[in-house]
Every structure is written in structure tokens, then in C-alpha cells.
Amino acid sequence: MNSREKILQTIGQNKPAYVALPPVNSFITQTDDLLNTFAETLTASGGFCTVVADLQPVKDFVLQQKQKGLEVIVGVEGLSDNNIGSFKNYSAVQLQQVDTVVVKGSVAVAENGAIWVTESSMGNRVLPFISEHLIIVIDKESIVANMHEAYKRITIDKEGYGVFIAGPSKTADIEQSLVVGAHGPLSLQVYII
């Protein structure tokens, strides 16, 4: 008998009597003031949050960074230099100098400041992590109250990979002192349109 069979057989012998699976749809959803709740929560987690009327401030920022000679990769529709698709097959070594990546988030969660970013919107899975700085653009309408609402809106296996991002990379592993910017991005800026 191989290990798979042995494990499954032992579970069959040892498992307790069947317990029904509970529903997960009866939790309190606080829907008032989603925008401010989201902004406050994300700010508390070390992110920056700016409410904008349209994409113009994002365009201005990207231009500014590029003029400084920094490598910026853009993955938001409506921005003229949307080039994220062309980096799909780049290796991490080739992407290690990237300064800023701009991506679109599809669902944002007020309660914890998390934003769902899919593989197709990041072009290359490593981009939101290897970049020194990350910018996520979201629509105000995409903010939901909590994780239950978020999972109703997304299909986690629609693509090969997806991630909730809720701030810049951080650590408190040295004597519990919070340091923003561990191995991933040193900063996260969210633009809410």
C-alpha cells in the first residue's frame, strides 16, 4: 500500500462522525462609509491613499518618475504607456531594477485595506513584489465591506494566481519594531477613482 492509500485508509478508520458544514453568509456587514473606512485602514497598515477624480494624477506621477530616469511599468487601461503585457516572460533577474509598478485592483476591502490583484492585471507574477514601489489603482465602486463580500465578487481559481495586497511589505521581526519595506515594495500608494 502506498502512502496515499495508507493515509486515506487511516483517516477513514479514525475520523469522527460526520459534522455538517456551516453556512458562511450570516455575518454582520457594515456598509456605511466604505471609502473612509478603507482609506483609514490602509493608512494604518502603512499604505498611502489618495482619492482622485480621474487618472490624470497617476499619469503625472508616472511621467515624473520616468523623467528621473526610473524604470516604471504600467498596467492600467487608460494610461497611454500601458506596457505591462510585454514583461510577461521576463525573469526576476531582468526585473530587479524596476522602480515602480502600477496595476489595477479589482476588489478592495474596507475592513482590512486589502486589494485583490489578479495575474492578468500584473502581467508577470513577480512584478508587484520585486518593484521598489507599488501603485494600485481602484474604482471607488469596487470597495466592499469585508472578506465575505470580497469572496462573493471574485473567483479565486479563475486565473492561476491572485493576491490580496494590504500594504507595503513589512516586518517586525527585530525586537517587534515595525519596519516598512522588508523584501518586497518599500511603499504602496493606492489611487481611488
Partner 1 sequence: MSKRVIDHSEEATAFLKDEKRAAWHDETLWFVRAKRDKAANKIPDWEALRETASKIKEHTLSNLDVLLQEFESKAIANGITVHWASDGDEHNQIVYDILTKNKVQNVVKSKSMLTEECQLNHFLHLKGMQVVDTDLGEYIVQLRHEQPSHIVLPAIHLKKQDVSETFHEHLQTEKDNIDPTYLTRAARKVLRQKFITADAAITGVNFAVAETGGFVVCTNEGNADLGAHSNKIHIACMGIEKIIPRAADLGVFLRLLTRSATGQPITAYSSHFHKPKEGQQMHIVLVDNGRTRQLGRPDFRNSLKCIRCGACFNTCPVYRRSGGHSYHNSVAGPIGAILAPNLNMKDNADLPFASTLCGSCTNVCPVKINIHEQLWSWRQLLMKEGYGGVAKKTAMQTMAAVLGNSTIYKLSGKMGRKFMSWMPGLVNNKFNPWYKQREMPAPPKQSFNEWYKQNRKNE
Assess contact for 117 and 162: CB atoms under 8 A.
Answer: yes
Q: How far apart are the first and last CA of the chain?
A: 59
Q: Which is nearer to partner 1, 55 or 100 (CB)?
A: 100
Single out the residue of 35, 59, 125, 193 in contact with partner 1 (rule: CB under 8 A): 125
As measured in angstroms, the least distance from the Cβ of 69 to partner 1 is: 21
Cell of 79: 494610461
Tell me which residues in 88-117 interact with partner 1 (CB under 8 A): 88-89, 91-93, 96, 109, 111-114
Single out the residue of 102, 130, 135, 190 in contact with partner 1 (rule: CB under 8 A): 130
Task: Assess 28 for contact with partner 1 (CB under 8 A).
Answer: yes
Task: Assess 66 for contact with partner 1 (CB under 8 A).
Answer: no
DSSP symbol at 89: T
Q: Name the one range near partner 1 by CB under 8 A: 8-16, 51-59, 68-76, 97-105.
A: 8-16
DSSP symbol at 137: E
Q: How far apart are CA 104 and CA 120, in angstroms?
A: 10
Q: Which is nearer to partner 1, 34 or 55 (CB)?
A: 34
Assess contact for 118 and 152: CB atoms under 8 A.
Answer: no
